[in-house]
Amino acid sequence: MTWSEDSLHRWLARTHAQSDAAVLRALRGRPGVCCHSCIEGVHFERSTPARAAGAKAARRALSDLAATGARPRALLLALSAPRAASEARMRGLIEGVRSAGVELVGGDLACHRGPLHLAVSALGEYELQGAPPARSRARAGDLVLLTGPVGGSRLGRHLVFEPRFAEGRFLARAGAHALMDVSDGLAWDLHRLARAAGVLIELELAAVPVHRDARRAGGDALGHALHDGEDHELIACIPEADWRRCAARARKAFPRLRVVGRVRRGAGLVLLDARGSSRRWRPGEGGWTHGRA
């Protein structure tokens, strides 16, 4: 049975009371917003269960929101699907978005000829004073932190992850200049952060926490950690003095948090190995870029 916009609207009215738009209660801080696409055949396979695909779509957007240091408040979903999609699958996708733990307050449905496409917008509130973390604010002298192990997400972890909201708020409160979600590969995302801030980042390869899935994936485990992407851990750049003040509390609250490098004057990303030799990382060595040939 193919899906019907009217039928889905009636189901939503019975079960969730959502509409196209919503008026939210006043925020306690400044609003933070982001959006993310999740496309069948790109971000999830056609065989992926609907709830898992919907949950991933929501959590991708929420992971970007976590990188602002904000607290999540609401989600919007724009869902486009071919006519042949079943109503059961459409309901499953919506239920998956709702399962991410943040209220789905509205959205849009559309029929098109392409694959399933979920666009999720996330709204949050930034409750701290002063300038919020941003990629462009990393400064020479900052330490580079990573909230958890990376690599091998293709074995299934790319569908099952939790946005690092607690870590993001802690690090923002501790004085982090920059936060960034690791979605396109650790090396590529560090390079983009360095480019945005006009700095050089030195990554200590021996300090990179390699996920056990990277070892299970076969081949070069460190290469997987640097380039696979969809880990959805956070990168943080924080002044060394601020880190010293909070390091003991941070390690107790977030034992997977690691210092993996340092920000210096210059440009780009440099990889340092355990022997002390270094090489400059170049775009195109790995990671994911939409539209790249």
pLDDT tens digits along 181-226? 999 999 999 999 999 999 999 999 999 999 999 999 999 999 999 9
Residue 274 pLDDT: 85
User: Which residues, other chains included, contact 107 with Cβ-Cβ below 8 Å and sequence gap of 6+?
Assistant: 18, 20, 76, 77, 78, 79
Average pLDDT score over the chain: 94
Residue 151 near residue 217, CB atoms below 8 Å: yes
How much is the average pLDDT of 110-127?
96
* Residue 59: φ, ψ to 5°: -70, -30
- Reading the block at residue 235, the tokens are 């990168």
Of the chain, the percentage scoring pLDDT greater than 90 comes to 86
**First and final C-alpha spacing in the chain:** 38
Residues 81-95 have pLDDT tens digits of 999 999 999 999 999
Residue 288 pLDDT: 86
Residue 267 pLDDT: 97
Residue 176 pLDDT: 98
Residue 14 pLDDT: 87
How much is the average pLDDT of 17-25?
74
Residue 88 near residue 57, CB atoms below 8 Å: no
- Reading the block at residue 205, the tokens are 């390869």
Q: Which helix (H) or strand (E) segment is 251 a member of?
A: helix 240-253
Residue 19 pLDDT: 67
Reference 76, options 15, 22, 30; nearest CA is 22
Residue 27 pLDDT: 83
* Residue 173: φ, ψ to 5°: -65, -30
pTM of full prediction above 0.85: yes
**38-42, 158-162, 289-293: least confident range:** 289-293
How much is the average pLDDT of 28-39?
94
- CA–CA separation, 97 vs 74, rounded Å? 11
Which residue reads 């006519």 in tokens? 83
Q: How confident is the model at residue 292 (pLDDT cuts 50, 70, 90)?
A: low
Q: How confident is the model at residue 1 (pLDDT cuts 50, 70, 90)?
A: low
How much is the average pLDDT of 113-133?
95
Reference 110, options 1, 8, 18; nearest CA is 8
Residue 293 pLDDT: 45
